Chain A
């Protein structure tokens, strides 16, 4: 484990040498002062129907995650089939925002766009985790079944009960992610929190932005009090009706998307074998690869590898904040609050703050991604550390951390980090404000130019890259014997 960790650190350091991490700003303080002042004086009256905004954010998250979890569960039953696994890796490789932008082309601004933008990637993620959970479940119950028990009964009575707790815990964790996704979907026009947050933030109305963020933090922090299994039925009944209205869906737009929009432009309306068409297409492919895909892949990988190690380091620093091995009840509740704030603040806001501080380079992106993901993993391993049982005469302070807790959580920590690897890569997509030409930057450009053929090509490239990382992380986890998902998901 140490060797692998060391290798990743060395790779990240190598990337850091190539990466541009210059600090250039001169006087960031006037803008930062305005932000700080805004956050010190939140204005809850600025967003008239802030309650409704929150309700809609929860409703989108609920519908999206519920549909994604059900879909993921179905897919997980066929996860041993190669193509199903690839499809899952493909659909989860694409950021929710890009799914939303794709569906905007087909459906327009309707609730369906938002729900599917969450449900589809989440189905891919849930399928993977459910399948791995089931794979590693305790099989003793299945083995003692009466011979001839049918498959459905065997599954419901022998397999599912052994993993039910893990699946439940994981799904509720996904719901928190879903809330963040739902909020972020507002950035592209759905009526969730992000819609108002983006406006307030980009117009410099920081008091209003602060009010929205505070409400969001409270929503996330209080999740465990209102997201209860027995209430799910009730929520499912009402959530679909709280999504708000939208425009009419037109079939012609959907057909056009598939038959025209995503066809590479040199091939549109041409016979593939007509003279000149294939060379044109080859030229298009070469342009896509050399001008966008390859530079995009390089920037994406460099940023991902550095941010991955940054995430790991920050997670190891932050988890004691919520661990009962290090802090008392009072300290932990403050720590809990700190982690909620860090992990719930959208990365683009973090990136903007650091951009003001350090100027445009990879540095703001690295720090924003590391903080956000570090707080998520810190939260997960912090909770894991709470289950550890210590000897009565255990060491304290730094010795406890370094010689007792760290070794016992390290495998767990690496497993989470490898899971997060592909997520970090996906998130490098949305940092265009920093001028870092990741794959996501080029996808965003193509979408803003309504060049859906280019966007689709790059999305496929991103997905392939993601599948590659997925395979690699599976291999590494396998080699390190970290693939004990059931253990990992125990909370």
Chain B
């Protein structure tokens, strides 16, 4: 009896595994993803709407798949499991360097001038200044996600430049909180003394009353740099028909539904090119995050 059970079990498992094997694609679905930089439920709502909008504009079935990390978004793009992605600056240059012919096609009107805020716990005695806060040296410091432009790349760049050493050397402790909300929470509690955070997330959380400014405050704002953008694979024209890239670009640029735009939040989308992100690529190479 037992042996029969085992046999049936084994058989069923192998059938099940076999059924997971690749199936022939029926009709091509246009799939896109986005880096998980914010509240996931908001992302699903936001990009669900975008999917509906794109499906209508492009006349092809369009689907959004959520991913858990910046690297997963880049990998899905690289593996042609998504053809379009809403990337950050760093994840965008990384993805495009891995996929020949891929292009940045649109960015938010606000994205050419993105900023990182350096925030500090009140006990550090650090105050807001226009010049780089040299006083953060020797403190404990947390970045956001390892793959984030605003939470990792740009702050690390300025830290190396101004303090003359890698974060490991200039801080007593360096952590990666995983995301911007956690960075704020960790600095607010004093678990880390200083942190780097996406300025939009800071503004949002301030508005939502999640930040106690008597405990944590902005001490420095980085100069502006280009950040988020829509990137598309180079081979979509082959799969979805000539001129597809242009149609996607046009659809994104003509997105005017205030609800949809507010969910990003961006006031509008404007054209973007790979060259716009050269500064990000240069910085990433300089601090050796990209070969």
- Whole-angstrom distance between the alpha carbons of A204 and B81 in the complex? 30
Shortest A202–chain B CB gap in Å is 5
Q: With A112-B20, A189-B67, A202-B178 known to touch, is A233 a contact of B146 (CB < 8 Å)? A: no
B contacts with A, residue count (CB < 8 A): 69
Chain B's closest residue to A108 (CB) is B81
- Closest chain A residue, CB of each to CB of B212: A30
User: Looking across the interface, which residue of chain A has its beta carbon closest to that of B190?
Assistant: A26
Find out whether the CB atom of B75 lies under 8 angstroms from the CB atom of A26.
no
Interchain CB contact (< 8 A) of A361 among B65, B173, B190: B173
User: 1/0 per position for B184-204, CB-CB distance to A under 8 A?
Assistant: 011011111100000000000
Residue interface bits B10-36, CB-to-A below 8 A is 1, else 0: 101101110111110100000100000
Q: Is A359 a contact of B191 with CB atoms below 8 Å?
A: yes
Which residues from A are CB-within-8-Å of B66?
189
Interface string of B143-167 (1 = CB under 8 A from A): 0011100000000000000000000
A110: which of B20, B140, B289 is its contact (CB, 8 Å)? B20
Task: Report the minimal beta-carbon distance from B181 to chain A, rounded to whole angstroms.
Answer: 6
Contact yes or no, B174 A435, CB < 8 A: yes
Residues of B within 8 A of A229 (CB): 2, 5
Contacts of B15 in A (CB 8 A): 240
Are A28 and B190 in touch, CB under 8 angstroms?
yes
B120 to chain A, nearest CB (A): 12
Q: Which residue from chain A places its CB closest to the CB of B146 in the assembled complex? A: A448
The reply to whether A24 and B190 contact each other, CB–CB distance below 8 Å, is yes
**In contact, A236 and B20 (Cβ under 8 angstroms):** no
**Min CB gap A446→B, angstroms:** 10
Q: Is B131 an interface residue (CB 8 A)?
A: no
Residue in chain B with minimal CB distance to A295: B168
User: Are A111 and B20 in contact, CB atoms less than 8 angstroms apart?
Assistant: yes
Answer yes or no: B169 CB below 8 A from chain A CBs: no
Q: How far is the CA of A450 from the CA of B95 in the complex (A)?
A: 9
Contacts of B79 in A (CB 8 A): 105, 108, 250, 253
Residue of A nearest to B205 (CB): A204
Complex Cα distance, B3 from A199, in Å, reads 43
Expressed in whole angstroms, the minimum distance between the Cβ of A114 and any Cβ of chain B is 10
Given A199-B40, A248-B25, A448-B147, A232 and B186 contact (CB-CB distance below 8 Å):
no
Q: How far is the CB of B173 from chain A (nearest CB, A)?
A: 5
CB closest residue in chain A, given B40: A199
Cβ of A337 within 8 Å of any chain B Cβ, yes or no, is: no
Q: Is A115 part of the contact surface with B, judged by Cβ < 8 Å?
A: yes
Contact partner, A108, options B6, B39, B75, B190, Cβ 8 Å? B75
A253–B82 alpha-carbon span in the complex (Å):
13
A109 vs B40: C-alpha distance when bound (angstroms): 17
| 7 pairs from A and B in contact (CB 8 Å cutoff) | A27-B215, A236-B10, A237-B12, A356-B191, A435-B142, A449-B289, A451-B291
A sample of 10 more A-B contacts (CB under 8 A), given A26-B121, A31-B188, A232-B5, is A112-B20, A188-B69, A229-B5, A232-B6, A233-B8, A243-B16, A250-B79, A360-B175, A432-B175, A450-B74
Please report A residues at the B interface, Cβ cutoff 8 Å: 20, 24-28, 30-31, 63, 66-67, 70, 101, 104-105, 108-112, 115, 156, 186-189, 195, 198-199, 202-204, 229-230, 232-233, 235-237, 239-241, 243, 246-250, 253, 265, 355-356, 359-361, 432-435, 444-445, 447-451
